[in-house]
Amino acid sequence: MQDKLIIAGKTIENRLFVGTGKFSNKAVVKDVLEAIKASVVTVALRRVDLDSKDENILDFIPKECLIMANTSGARNAEEAVRIARLAKACGCGNWIKIEVIPDSKYLLPDNLETLKATEILVKEGFVVLPYMMPDLVMARKLVLAGAAAVMPLGSPIGSNRGLRTEEIVRIMIKEIKVPVIVDAGLGFPSDAARCMEMGCSAVLVNTAIASAIDPVIIARAFNDAVIAGRSAFLYAEKRSFSVSSDGARASSPLTGFLDN
């Protein structure tokens, strides 16, 4: 059975997207990406310095990975657009994850400014994946603006609190015709599996992997969880058992007891 994730005409082999922030060193980033054969990796522009004599993060990203720059640090649409243009000029390509976050305490995205940035960048030929507060109405507007996917948060960035926005994300998966990719807050592989079981097209994980004692082991665990969750989603309708029941069903026949 073929099951492909295609975004902007590109086939994505691995549905676990990985962020590059918070790692103890750049070499670990490379180890993680190679261990799971990552397809998409996000990079903040401030971590890219082609003129620096020090090691550049781009040097540690396998060539087969698609780089998706993010506009981390942008507080409004104007700043997000400027960062996206700079990222493209630095060689990061035209895939961009829009992050517009004016709130420094909870780091929650501004959906309206995100929409404005999306409208501008899509017209300039960018493949735009906006990070957003889960909201069906806004998701529809982002799709109409040309977003290639939408990326609702699971819980606040770096919180590791898991999928706290499940009901709204479920609605978005059902109603939105582009990939829904949960981004932010997933703390455990089980969180990623849950997202995929619901029908998410992919998940993006950074903090939970980067801050782990052994990032490679945890990255593999997340990768396995994504695969398992996706398989469960694909075959959910084919299962022969009922999800809920008033009673119990024995897995072995209740016959043949010694006194019968």
Residues labelled catalytic: 97
Which strands make up the sheet holding 202-205, listed edge to edge?
A: 151-152, 127-132, 95-98, 66-70, 40-44, 16-19, 202-205, 181-183
Residue type, 230: R
Residue 233 contacts residue 194 (beta carbons within 8 Å): no
CA angle at 123 for the pair 131 and 184, rounded to the nearest 5°:
5
41 phi, psi to nearest 5 deg: -130, 135
- Integer Cα distance of 255 and 241 in angstroms: 21
* The two structure tokens encoding residue 115: 């929409």
Supply 39's token pair.
């397809």
Is residue 117 within 8 Å of residue 80, measured between CB atoms?
A: yes
Say what the alpha-carbon torsion angle 206, 212, 216, 220 is, to the nearest 10 degrees. Answer: -70
Residue 191 C-alpha from the chain's centroid: 12
Give the chain's count of helices (H) and strands (E). 8, 10
In the numeric block, which tokens belong to residue 11? 């086939």
